[in-house]
Structure 1
Amino acid sequence: MFEEKASSCRFPDELVGLNLAFACFDAIIAILAFTQLARIHARNTQLGWTRQKVFHILIGFTNTGYFIYFVLSLVAACRGWLCWSYSCGFVAMAFPRILLFATFLLLLSFWVDLCHQADDEEEEDDEQGFLEALIQNSLNRPRSSLADRRLCYPFRLIHVGSRQKIVILVTLLVFLLMMTFSVLIWIGMEENPIDSSTVSRVYVDLFATAILLLGGALACYGFLLCRKMRNVRSERASSEIWKVAGLAIVSVISFTSSAFVALFTDIPVLYHWHELHIDGVYTSLLLILYYFIGSSVPSAFVLWVMRELPPMSMANTQEESTRVTFITENSARRPQNWTTSASSQNQASSRGSPI
């Protein structure tokens, strides 16, 4: 499959340096993501696959895929792999991009859950108010066991939210579409009417349009979520607003720049470099926009937003939930005014959260 042809390593020097830099940076992000994932799991082994863990593993695999792509691009260019200029290079380029798309599509699904929480029947059993739930359901905070069963979907509970099921379905469809295009590109290697470069351009344009729409959706729901959280008067709410706003802004800038580069240039199909006109400085700037700004920056920013670790253990909470209260004969004979004052204090404390 990786037939070689006699050729020296004629990859442009500027692109060699950029590929090595991108590979190193993506390797660092992947190592940080998997290391943080191990720390999160070690802090509390009782939890299943929470949102925080899912985001870290997706980002880890995304940047691992980009690391493999940049390294193999240099090896393929120097060794003259024929397959790399067609379907193999196409798959290596497209697969980590799909994982990045799935990561932020999952983020969008959680934001949609929060913005429409008041209208969802699944959220009717929450005892807290809607605006307080926005804070409790923030990206980097641990949630109650009931919320974890709804949205974090630990595998042992086999429960996935309805919008997260849509994310999984869309990701599978995009993956199947990518594999279909890779087969067509493979067929186009032979003498037939199929042009492999045209097929790859069609896929790149379709995926760039989807990325552009995803960035717009993140901007809209990020704005709506910030408006709802602004009504909560607390320091925690203000910090979460900045994180949501930062994610929305970074997503829009990153996805818009990478989508326009993909739509109007041949940067995404640079694995077919020997048939393209390459200008060292101009191509390098476009590569930075597409790969560094369009992929590495949003991945690193998500890791920074979700850097906080969950509590050490849930054992104390479980013990408190199973505590049994014994009522003695003397306590049953207490006067009525004491009972009334105690119940009023409990109601006041239950309404103490900022609205």
Structure 2
Amino acid sequence: MAFGLRTKSFGFIEGEPEFVSAFQWWNQIDDSDQWQRGTYYALCVAYTLVSFIALVQLVRIQMRVPEYGWTTQKVFHLMNFVVNGLRAVLFGLYKSVFAIRPKALEQVLMELPGLLFFSTYTLLVLFWAEIYHQARSEPAQKLRPAYFIINGFIYLVQICLWIYMSASKTATGLEAAELFLSVISFFAALGFLLYGGRLFFLLRRFPIESRGRQKKLYEVGSVTSICCTCFLIRCALLAFSVFGKNTDLDVLNHPILNLVYYLMVEIVPSALVLFILRKLPPRRVSDQYHPIR
């Protein structure tokens, strides 16, 4: 992420024409209006598709069990719809977004979906933690308040960093915000590893003939691996963008870097998780109606 449209030129080393050629090719792509337009519109289409899939799944769940309120499953799909929809709008209007003044407001718009993405997928950690503690007959009443307190604290810190960034108008505030997002991404990965791993090994101890055991093992193991990997990649790339040169994300003149970054940390993981969690909840049978067996 960058505070402003920072354009950094690569340093060329004399006597290494192949590197010079590669760097020149990269810079030509970065400065090409056609590549920028194609890349950011492609991201817009990809996010729109994922957002639409989440909305369809939410509608399907509501039609299957309309008598239930806002379950964790419904909230998860709703938040996926919001996060991906917001990203789609931002990349669809990329020229206007990257031209926003003050630049701190641009950073707010680009970083807010990342925070919402964190809240969306840590909701799965909360869900698994509740299942794990209930299966072991351990108290789970404090898990949900802890989820809201942790997320509230994270949003408060991020708002303070945005205010500082707006007031200071230096790169220090931006770097602090990136490092903070990197740190919370690391802890999100740890959360998936901790409770996803615990629930996975708990399920493995169930009898082999247990109904749905194999499907749940696949579901928990796959989602844990995908989410843990995507948050670790986000953590590493955000940290590297602070200390590395020519690695600024969320800038107009780095379209390919943004394409690779958002594919790895949001689009592909979201699509895979939505596919794995596509199963609808069972229909609720009325107490007054008992089907003939």
Cross-structure match for 1:22? 43
Does structure 1 residue 205 correspond to structure 2 residue 179?
yes
Unmatched runs of 5 consecutive residues or more in structure 1? 1-9, 123-160, 188-193, 322-355
Deviations 1:123-173 (CA, angstroms, capped at 9, x unpaired):
xxxxxxxxxxxxxxxxxxxxxxxxxxxxxxxxxxxxxx5312221222222
Deviation at residue 76 of structure 1 after TM alignment: 3.8
Moved more, 213-222 or 60-69: 213-222
Instruction: Report the aligned-residue RMSD.
Output: 2.5
Aligned counterparts of 1:261 and 1:271: Cα–Cα separation in 2: 12
Residue pair 1:185, 1:200 contacting (<8 A) in 2 also: yes
Aligned counterparts of 1:293 and 1:318: Cα–Cα separation in 2: 47
Deviation at residue 37 of structure 1 after TM alignment: 1.0
Aligned counterparts of 2:89 and 2:234: Cα–Cα separation in 1: 20
- The secondary structure found in structure 2 opposite 1:318 is coil
- Paired residue for 1:36, among 57, 62, 74? 57
Aligned counterparts of 2:159 and 2:251: Cα–Cα separation in 1: 18
Using the size of structure 1 for normalisation, the TM-score is 0.65
Cross-structure match for 2:170? 196
Does structure 1 residue 301 correspond to structure 2 residue 277?
no
Using the size of structure 2 for normalisation, the TM-score is 0.78
Closer, same or farther: CA 112–306 of 1 in aligned 2, 3 Å: same
Deviation at residue 229 of structure 1 after TM alignment: 0.6
Matches within 5 A, 1:1-355: 12-77=33-98, 80-83=99-102, 86-117=103-134, 118-121=136-139, 161-187=141-167, 194-232=168-206, 233-234=208-209, 236-265=212-241, 270-273=249-252, 284=256, 286-312=257-283, 314=284, 316-319=285-288
Moved more, 303-312 or 207-216: 303-312
Residue pair 1:91, 1:178 contacting (<8 A) in 2 also: no
Deviations 1:39-83 (CA, angstroms, capped at 9, x unpaired):
211222211011210110011111012112212322344xx4333
Moved more, 244-253 or 11-20: 11-20
Q: How many residues are matched? A: 254
Deviation at residue 35 of structure 1 after TM alignment: 1.9
Aligned counterparts of 1:185 and 1:227: Cα–Cα separation in 2: 44
AA at the equivalent of 1:231: R
Aligned counterparts of 1:101 and 1:21: Cα–Cα separation in 2: 23
Closer, same or farther: CA 272–29 of 1 in aligned 2, 3 Å: closer
Bigger radius of gyration among the two: 1
Deviation at residue 29 of structure 1 after TM alignment: 0.9
Task: State the structure with bigger RCO (CA 8 A, min sep 6), 1 or 2.
Answer: 2
Closer, same or farther: CA 121–271 of 1 in aligned 2, 3 Å: closer
Give me the identity figure in percent. Answer: 21
Unmatched runs of 5 consecutive residues or more in structure 2? 1-30
- The secondary structure found in structure 1 opposite 2:286 is helix
